[in-house]
Amino acid sequence: MQIPFEPQLFGYTINIHLVLEYLAFFVAYRYYVILRRKSADAISSNNRLSIILGAALGALIGSRLVGFLENPVFEFSQQNIIQLLNTKTIMGGLFGGLLGVELAKKYIGENQSSGDLFTFPIILGVFIGRIGCFLSGVNEFTYGKQTSFFMGMDLGDGVLRHPTSLYELMFLMLLFLGLKQLKKRVTLENGDLFKWFMILYFTFRFCIEFLKPNVFYVFGLSTIQILCIICLLYYRKTLLQIKT
């Protein structure tokens, strides 16, 4: 199979990344519905719906905002503006969704932690989306720097690069299995599972950003890395509990 993978259907080229992105939303939501049916959710259906709406709105704004901040310097042209409107990142979506949830819960007066039910569906959704990124190769700005590492791959431009999407796929599988085992073996407080997902995933993304050819830096760090630091500071209380 050649990367970028661009299948043809009735003479039209299929955007495999877009197809898998929509599939990720559908499968993740269906998985969430199944998990909620099997669990004793302390949050009412109406409040849960408000939380989901808050997460969706926050994710929409956050993904676009952070996507823009990854490269805020650009020439104003019709093509660049269209590209800007289509730019998004899962990191901004996750953190924006987190803030959207907290604002929604404050508005409706919900005090229960709500993230645990979303944890595994989110991981599954990100996993499916990252398959699309990997198959898109250099058509999506998720590829890595040029490398002589044994896992280097030609992602469509004739250059051996770090397949960072593939690295992330392997990490997400380990994260999914690891959190499943943690849930089985350790008595966690409500909300802790989601907190550890965010901490571990954002830590991973901070590290893997060093393998990407970013073009915009602040204090030697990319926008994603700065967001990762903000997220880890947000969960500093959970991190400090490790020492106690």
Mean pLDDT estimate for the chain: 87
pLDDT digits (tens, 9 = 90+) for 159-170: 999 999 999 999
pLDDT digits (tens, 9 = 90+) for 136-154: 998 888 889 999 999 999 9
Scored b (16 or more CB within 10 A) or e, 184-209 reads eeeeeeeebbbbbbbbebbebbbebb
Segment among 18-27, 40-49, 189-198 with least mean pLDDT? 40-49
Q: Identify the pLDDT of residue 24.
A: 95
| pLDDT value at residue 214 | 84
Burial of 65: CB neighbours in 10 Å, binned 0-12, 13-18, 19+? middle
Q: What is the pLDDT of residues 51-110, one digit of tens each?
A: 989 999 999 899 988 887 877 655 555 555 555 555 678 999 999 999 999 999 998 988
- Residue owning tokens 């943690």: 182
- Both ends of the chain: CA-CA distance in Å? 51
C-beta separation of 186 from 41 below 8 A:
no
Asked whether 226 and 218 are in contact (CB, 8 A), the reply is: yes
The phi, psi pair for 37, rounded to 5°, reads -65, -30
On the question of pLDDT at 182 being above 70, the answer is yes
Say yes or no to pLDDT of 243 above 70.
Answer: no
Is the predicted pLDDT of residue 32 greater than 60, yes or no?
A: yes
d(Cα 96, Cα 193) in Å, to the nearest integer? 18
Is pLDDT at 185 greater than 60 in this prediction?
A: yes
Put simply, whether the predicted model's pTM sits higher than 0.85 gets the answer: yes
Average pLDDT of the residues in 187-206: 92
